[in-house]
Amino acid sequence: MDTIDLKNPQLYINRELSLLEFNRRVIEQAKDENLPLLERLRFLCIASTNLDEFFEIRVAGLKQQVKYGSVQTGLDNLSPAEVLTRVGKTAHQIVEEQYNVWNNLIITALTRNKIRVLRRAEWKPRLVRWINRYFNSEVLPVLSPIGLDPAHPFPKVLNKNLYFIISLEGKDAFGRDTGLAIVQAPRSLPRIVPIPAEHSSGSHDFIMLSSIIHARVGDLFPGMNVTGCYQFKVTRDSDLFVDDEEIDDLLRALEGELPSRRFSDAVRLEVADNCPAELSLFLLKKFDLQESDLYRVSGPVNLGRLLAICDLVDRPELKFTGFTPDIPQRLLKNNNIFDVLRNGDLLLYHPFQSFAPVIDFLRQASTDPNVLSIKQTLYRTGADSVVVEALKDAARIGKEVTVVIELRARFDEEANIELANKLQEAGAHVVYGVVGYKTHAKMILVVRREGRTLRRYVHLGTGNYHARTARVYTDYGLLTCDKSVGEDVNKLFHQITGLGRAGKLKKLLQSPFTLHKGILAYIEDEISAANKGEKARIIAKMNALADPEIIVALYKASQAGVKIDLIIRGICCLYPGIKGVSENITVRSIVGRFLEHTRVFYFHHGGEELVFCSSADWMTRNLHHRVEACFPIEEKRTSDSVIKYGLLSYLSDNTQAWLLQSDGSYQRAKTGAKPRSAQQLILEHYCELSH
């Protein structure tokens, strides 16, 4: 039998195309009539904002590579130019599908449920009078039309903001007749405007700000004739570049870069589909874009702004059933979290279990006179969050508070700079991680004096310290006072904040030093077991799989007979089910009510059943270019729960699961005689549902 080359490009799915396919699955949720209507609208909006970010970061990066002549290929052997071409073709298909869903499914269903987004053709005289008053009092005072002539060159257009290009006939008061003007939709006004019930025939009627401006745009150009008014939106490169070798103050460097992101290179132009070709070409030329970068849309160009409807309509029957997150019984019996942890670890499964114990952990630490110091990493959180308030309180009363803030958390840079300043003002020590490596680990370390000894209490998580996302992202968080874990986390903080070589850890695996090698070693152990005829099994759940060495290792494990089940929400660069390579590998993606965000790794390990949770996906950037923490779940009762609910329930899901095929396409799992939803099962296990 010939040896199969496991680095054959045909064995690898392109990362960017895989990410786009995830957005297809999100759009499919918007089409699913089994889901509540307003949640379907929410999925459609999420897909739109996801696509914005994809262009801002991924397409922008590809364009940069093409611009500078890069021909470097990945394992799929596609050059940046080839990837960009394929991405453009797929993205156009996805955008067309988004608007088909909006125009042909969602609008009809909303109307059927007496929720209307009224178009101008539907305005009755009574409504028109109210719209005119609203325009004159709220909109007109903040509009600034810009006529295009030598004294008024084409304005700087903000990233992702709504604009109109206006064609005009006639001369203005100064005799100018250039014929074109630009109007920016005010960012200070809501894009979705609720119509008071007394001025319309429905209790949930809305009008888009763009429709109001369009209807009254002539008022901005008195004495001239408006011959056309067309929406457009530009998406720009939003990846910040900071030269790690040249900076001496990361905060100041980022502060200097942030304003430029609003006006960086354009990567996509969206226009209303009725915009004349000559105006579209005019805009393309102004933004230095090609025709392939033009997206004509049949509806609002800012589709994601429709999300506001979900919040404005109070119709519980059109949303997911509410629930009350679980509080572990041990905490209900004893609210002193330090007492609880001395009697055993506590593993929280968000959002099914409340994030409140994590906040309480910090609050109690901030006020407890026996607590000497608190150290924490922050990647994404709000400057006004309760987590930050607890840290500020602790610093103000004299505790040693050290906060590692990753300033370069994409799109949260500005908030994190503000956060850093507020913490420093309160007296906390603030550091910005390690230059060249994003600090992505989620860790809290509390040192408490107990008698003659100092005890370390730790929180380790798979997700961010953000109370809002903890309600919609699935994540695990471990609270423990295990001595070895505490020592490991202490060493990690010393590595990040100080200088010196990486110390050897007892229980944790960390990036960029031991996590990659550790995962490969555990995979190799399963291969060895399979070669001996012993049971061998790997189950891994994550957001993305793209690291080539791990993919090769998984292919080898499959060839050896190891049964491998992968639960991967988004990017997967591995092909399952290929004969002689990956027939023992299955890949499924769960797209449901909550964003699947847990990273859980299971290895049979000769019956020992090792379970790890991690802040890191199996991507090269996480394993080699970030500071990450991967921690074992050692108490059997707890690890059994992770296996049952965090892994096996997802493998039996037949309602929200998508199965990756050997040709790289995804097919929805077939619903059997008994529908099974992992997220619903876990909700029912942990939570009190409100009906």
Question: For residue 6, is it within any domain?
Answer: no
Do residue 674 and residue 570 come from a single domain?
yes
Question: For residue 219, is it within any domain?
Answer: yes
Do residue 176 and residue 62 come from a single domain?
yes
Dump pLDDT digits (tens) for 14-37: 999 999 999 999 999 999 999 999
Please give the average per-residue pLDDT across 257-265, as a whole number.
57
Strands 473-480 and 429-431: unpaired
Q: What is the mean pLDDT of the chain?
A: 91
Please give the average per-residue pLDDT across 434-459, as a whole number.
93
Percent of the chain with pLDDT over 70: 93
Number of domains in the chain: 3
Q: Is the pLDDT of residue 1 over 50?
A: no
In 3D space, the residue among 214, 223, 161 whose CA is nearest the CA of residue 187 turns out to be 161
Instruction: Quote the tokens at residue 543.
Output: 């957001």
Q: Is the pLDDT of residue 444 over 90?
A: yes
pLDDT of residue 663: 94
Q: Is the pLDDT of residue 412 over 60?
A: no
Say which DSSP state 181 is in.
Answer: E
Q: Is the pLDDT of residue 12 over 80?
A: yes
Question: For residue 609, is it within any domain?
Answer: yes
The confidence band for 247, taking pLDDT boundaries of 50, 70 and 90, is very low
Last residue of a domain, one of 318, 336, 362: 318
The confidence band for 2, taking pLDDT boundaries of 50, 70 and 90, is low
The confidence band for 420, taking pLDDT boundaries of 50, 70 and 90, is confident
Q: Is the pLDDT of residue 174 over 50?
A: yes
Q: Is the pLDDT of residue 364 over 70?
A: yes
CA 460 to chain CA centroid, Å, is 20
Do residue 144 and residue 46 come from a single domain?
yes
The confidence band for 538, taking pLDDT boundaries of 50, 70 and 90, is very high
For 438, the enclosing helix (H) or strand (E) is strand 438-439
Question: For residue 3, is it within any domain?
Answer: no
CA 114 to chain CA centroid, Å, is 32
Q: Sign (positive/negative) of CA torsion 129, 135, 140, 146? A: negative
Secondary structure of residue 31 in the 3-state scheme: helix
End-to-end CA distance of the chain: 60
What CATH number corresponds to the domain at position 456? Answer: 3.30.870.10
pLDDT of residue 242: 39
pLDDT of residue 3: 83
pLDDT of residue 436: 80
pLDDT of residue 329: 93
In 3D space, the residue among 233, 298, 310, 302 whose CA is nearest the CA of residue 102 turns out to be 298
Do residue 489 and residue 600 come from a single domain?
no
Based on the residue annotation, tell me whether 440 is a catalytic residue of this protein. Answer: yes
Dump pLDDT digits (tens) for 38-58: 999 999 999 999 999 999 989
Please give the average per-residue pLDDT across 343-366, as a whole number.
96
pLDDT of residue 408: 62
Lowest mean pLDDT among 18-22, 642-646, 687-691: 687-691
Do residue 40 and residue 188 come from a single domain?
yes
H helices of 397-533, where? Answer: 413-426, 483-497, 515-531
DSSP string, 97-153: HHHHHIIIIIHHHHHHTT-EE--GGG--HHHHHHHHHHIIIIIGGG---EE-BTTBP
pLDDT of residue 22: 96
For 341, the enclosing helix (H) or strand (E) is helix 337-342
Please give the average per-residue pLDDT across 146-173, as a whole number.
86
Give the residue, 435 or 600, on which the prediction is more confident. Answer: 600
pTM above 0.85, yes or no: yes
Last residue of a domain, one of 484, 505, 526: 505
Q: Is the pLDDT of residue 580 over 70?
A: yes
Do residue 206 and residue 337 come from a single domain?
no
Give the active site residue among 214, 350, 440, 597. Answer: 440
Do residue 129 and residue 61 come from a single domain?
yes
pLDDT of residue 45: 96
Give the residue, 249 or 152, on which the prediction is more confident. Answer: 152
The confidence band for 422, taking pLDDT boundaries of 50, 70 and 90, is confident
The three-point CA angle 457-391-344 to 5° equals 20
Lowest mean pLDDT among 83-87, 124-128, 507-511: 124-128
What CATH number corresponds to the domain at position 201? Answer: 3.30.1840.10
Do residue 499 and residue 519 come from a single domain?
no
Do residue 84 and residue 160 come from a single domain?
yes
Do residue 298 and residue 355 come from a single domain?
no
Last residue of a domain, one of 266, 293, 318: 318
pLDDT of residue 245: 40
Beta-carbon contacts of 410 under 8 Å, excluding residues fewer than 6 positions away, are 57, 238, 239
For 337, the enclosing helix (H) or strand (E) is helix 337-342
In 3D space, the residue among 554, 549, 516, 550 whose CA is nearest the CA of residue 536 turns out to be 554
Do residue 399 and residue 279 come from a single domain?
no
Do residue 202 and residue 63 come from a single domain?
yes
DSSP string, 182-229: EEEPPTTS-SEEEPPGGGSSSSSEEEEHHHHHHHHGGGGSTTSEEEEE
Dump pLDDT digits (tens) for 200-241: 877 899 999 999 999 999 999 988 899 999 999 999 998 744
pLDDT of residue 452: 92
Which range of residues forms the domain containing residue 594? 510-689
Question: For residue 2, is it within any domain?
Answer: no
